[in-house]
Structure 1
Amino acid sequence: MLPTEKTGLAEKYNVALPRYTSYPTMPFWNVAAFNTNDWKQSIKQSFSESNAMEGMSLYIHLPFCKNLCTYCGCNTRITKNHAVEQPYIKALMLEWTMYLNLFEKKPLIREIHLGGGTPTFFSAAHLKILLYAILLNTEIHPDAHFSFEAHPANTSEEHLQVLYDLGFRRLSLGIQDFDLNVQRIINREQSFEQVQQVTLAARKIGYTSINFDLIYGLPLQTVTGLTRTIEMVSELMPDRIAFYSYAHVPWLKPGQRSFTEQHLPDAAAKKALHQTGRDLLNSFGYLEIGMDHFALPADELFTAMNNGKLYRNFMGYTDQHTQLLIGLGVSAISDSGYAFAQNVKTVEEYLELVANGKFPVFKGHLLTRDDLIIRKHVQNIMCKGKTSWNHHLEPCLSLFAGLERLEILANDGLIELNSRGLKVTSIGNGYLRNICMAIDARLWAQRPDTQLFSMAI
């Protein structure tokens, strides 16, 4: 426990709340007011405003996995049949063509991220075909950053080389935990030697940023086991580490019912895991970035935070901001700056819609004026640890309705609050989600009857 933290603070703020990769968060989107034509218009407007200078980002969702990792909250399709690769790649190309037809000129690509699922489920040859097609009618921003997620057990040197040749310099490996008992119960087994082999091969090829994903709060996880995991990670010193809280949402992800709450650490034990992990990462030279992320001092993510250029979107934290983010593939989410849209969630429906020339979007949200104001403050809290407002230039009753809730946080030492804004304290850095929730006007206006989100701890 931090030395100045009030007793019982963790228990008080251990509530179900969003992770704030967007505002409004998805359960509070006004789906009824959304339609595909409005979405297309918002894309055109955003592209016209932002493409020439900052470019755009692409997220490509590759959902296939060989095995089900039972902790996973992502939209995946479990199969060992690699014949699914070519039809899915064809559909991605068709969807991208639909977006290209909305643009007045060639898009300037600033970021590409391949997520999943398991992107390295796809053969290196098929990934090459896909990315050649995506990049064919585009221009590449001089500061472009391309990244992909990979499973250490199936990532080959061919994958690494092919993607490097296409401009990828960032690699993210899903580790979670090296404790064999934890790996077995979550059905995610990979050895330290496999992780080491991929990491060293990537560095030899020329990758400049390697991230490891770790999770605390997993079933059967112990402080001793997590300590050993982080010590093993320190032998390889990845540039970044995402240290996530396990989100137990079995009502959304039935695979999580393969274990029970009895296998999970309670709130106090999970808090101890979190604190142990943070302390160890700090001891190995990693510096905390926003929420759940750590980086070495030379990493661009840390530089972005210091320069006030850290940004958070549906892909997490990034050191670059683009107004326009297009998500391709099943369940992918897009952000035009004025609207959000999500694609359909099943592979079959996605393939059918795209084959018939229809945008595979099935729901979305058009941001209101108040949404845009609160979104800015949520971004500032999550990325800068502070935000400010002006009552006269920024009249927003929805925002100021949260001032009473913010005062409670100030009394507990999580923020410093005045009439012009707030600043997150060192204690409050561990409660960023709670601070954002205080000004989440849509959540407070539509308090859910059932639990929608994972617990804070």
Structure 2
Amino acid sequence: MNKLEDLLEKYHVPAPRYTSYPTVPFWDEQTFSREGWLKSVRETFSSAATTEEGISLYIHLPFCENLCTYCGCNTRITKNHGVELPYLQAVLREYDLYLDTLGEAPLIREIHLGGGTPTFFSSENLCLLINGILEKSVLHEDAEFSFEAHPGNTTTAHLHDLYRLGFKRLSLGIQDFDPAVQLMINRVQTVEEVAHITELARQIGYTSVNYDLIYGLPVQQLAGLEETIKAVLELRPDRIAFYSYAHVPWVKPGQRRYTEKHLPEPALKQQLYEMGREMLRSGGYTEIGMDHFTLKTDSLYHAAVNGKLHRNFMGYTHQSTKLMIGLGVSSISDSWAGFAQNVKKVEDYIALTAKGEIPVFKGHLLNEEDLLIRKHILQLMCQGKTKLTEQERLHPVISAGLERMENLSADGLVTVNGNELEVTPDGKRFLRNICMALDARLWASRQETRLFSMAD
């Protein structure tokens, strides 16, 4: 084996994706309470930073007409569109409950509609939802709205109506155009359908179109993925998320439609990644953070260059807020000093909001050590480097993390120069492993249960 293959084998371990710290499996639920969470929300909302930058809203819309078997999201499969209005009314009730907590109309900096399939909902009902929020809010002058869309059910009305409400970005779930892979994962859309939505969005005025691609899917082969990426490069989306498939059938039973025998062997999976990465880079895309590629005209690229890149439960974003409120079933909120997740069943969510209860069921309130580690993991994930103060470097949790990082440093994946840590070009492939060295809660738990997908 060559050096890269040796390193890939050495660091092929389950690792978090670090959309938060602490990661969800290591939240301390014993010290969490709804009252403590709401206190944290109020304190962050009243801070000077939030007054200036505003807040973000993530809205989870869980319904899909068909089950995509690769998907790890919280979904509800139904063809009954009568579920739309009752659910959206519950979301608006939850927003009202947060307004009562905040005591005044918030300044909205960012709204993202995720799922599930947001475009499962009719354009009319999505307008009802967004108007219901905006009429009780104040818009930031730099507000940006985005939504996830299925190429197969996104209509002209969706694109026009959401654009009029302020949406300028959309993300299309492609995964792979190979018919054999699409059949296996039950996610079928043609290049022509994707091209139509992309072109129409640009004609209307959308400033950024993202495609999601996945490597490591069942029965995926080099030739098929190569043709997919060639088609993507022709369509020229502004952003591309190129993710590793996370095989977690113990969490998502839909993935049991196939077995590990259908998945690419580790060597082939790495070849899929290397080929895709090289094709995207050669095609004019710049690698941003982890798993993301952008054109130099996109705001995410400019954020990375200017040191403004941010990462949260919605992924990478070019702007950040200290307070992100998650609305809808299973949504996760972030007050910077705390996290809270909503109940995961639609029926429970609707019932709790109807009773006037904010529907969180678990969370974590960050202590001083959590905040310290969070800061540096976020810097590594977004900027590829971080700088410690002398006091921070001597802190027990940081010094222990630096000791764990010695092997990574010896392998040329990260440089530790005094108080400065920087991910090397080779280390970008191992960003999850590098951040994991600082993850005090993960190392303290030493759980043997498989909680995360593999770091590859």
What is the one-letter code of the residue matched to 2:34? T
Structure-1 residue corresponding to 2:13: 15
What is the one-letter code of the residue matched to 1:100? L
Q: Give the Å deviation of 1:394.
A: 6.5
Q: Deviations over 1:149-193 (max 9, x none)?
A: 000000000000010000000010000000000000000001111
Return 5+ residue gaps in structure 2 as ranges.
none
Q: Deviations over 1:109-128 (max 9, x none)?
A: 00000000000000000000
Structure-2 residue corresponding to 1:105: 104
Question: Where do 4+ consecutive residues of structure 1 move more than 2 Å?
Answer: 391-396
Structure-2 residue corresponding to 1:114: 113
8 Å contact kept, 1:59–1:332:
yes
* Structure 2 counterparts to residues 53-202 of structure 1, below 5 A: 53-202=52-201
Structure-1 residue corresponding to 2:32: 34
Q: Give the Å deviation of 1:7.
A: 4.6
Structure-2 residue corresponding to 1:337: 336
8 Å contact kept, 2:70–2:185:
yes
Distance 2:432 2:272 in 1: 18
What is the one-letter code of the residue matched to 1:71? Y
Structure-2 residue corresponding to 1:348: 347
The reply on whether 1:310 has 2:309 as its aligned counterpart is yes
Q: Give the Å deviation of 1:387.
A: 0.8
Distance 1:377 1:393 in 2: 10
- Alignment CA distance shift 1:273-1:393 (3 Å): closer
- Tell me how many residue pairs correspond in the alignment: 455
* SS in structure 1 of the partner of residue 209 of structure 2: strand
Distance 1:166 1:286 in 2: 30
Structure-2 residue corresponding to 1:273: 272
Return 5+ residue gaps in structure 1 as ranges.
none
What is the one-letter code of the residue matched to 1:315? M
Q: Deviations over 1:191-218 (max 9, x none)?
A: 1111011111101111000000000000
Q: Deviations over 1:126-161 (max 9, x none)?
A: 000010001111111111110000000000000000
Task: Give me the identity figure in percent.
Answer: 60
What is the one-letter code of the residue matched to 1:201? L
Structure-2 residue corresponding to 1:254: 253
Q: Give the Å deviation of 1:396.
A: 2.6
8 Å contact kept, 1:176–1:215:
yes
What is the one-letter code of the residue matched to 1:190? Q
Q: After the TM superposition, which of the residue ranges 49-58 and 387-396 deviates more from structure 2?
A: 387-396
8 Å contact kept, 2:393–2:419:
no
8 Å contact kept, 2:67–2:77:
yes
Structure-2 residue corresponding to 1:446: 445
Distance 1:85 1:45 in 2: 34
8 Å contact kept, 2:393–2:399:
no
Name the TM-score, length of structure 1 as normaliser.
Answer: 0.98
Distance 1:426 1:135 in 2: 43
Name the TM-score, length of structure 2 as normaliser.
Answer: 0.98
* SS in structure 2 of the partner of residue 225 of structure 1: helix
* SS in structure 2 of the partner of residue 102 of structure 1: helix
Structure-2 residue corresponding to 1:455: 454
The reply on whether 1:298 has 2:297 as its aligned counterpart is yes
8 Å contact kept, 2:108–2:138:
yes
Distance 2:395 2:223 in 1: 48
Distance 2:301 2:322 in 1: 21
- Report the aligned-residue RMSD: 1.1
Q: Deviations over 1:355-401 (max 9, x none)?
A: 00011000000000000000000001000111111232665311211
* SS in structure 2 of the partner of residue 72 of structure 1: coil
What is the one-letter code of the residue matched to 1:200? E
8 Å contact kept, 1:181–1:220:
yes
8 Å contact kept, 2:93–2:353:
yes
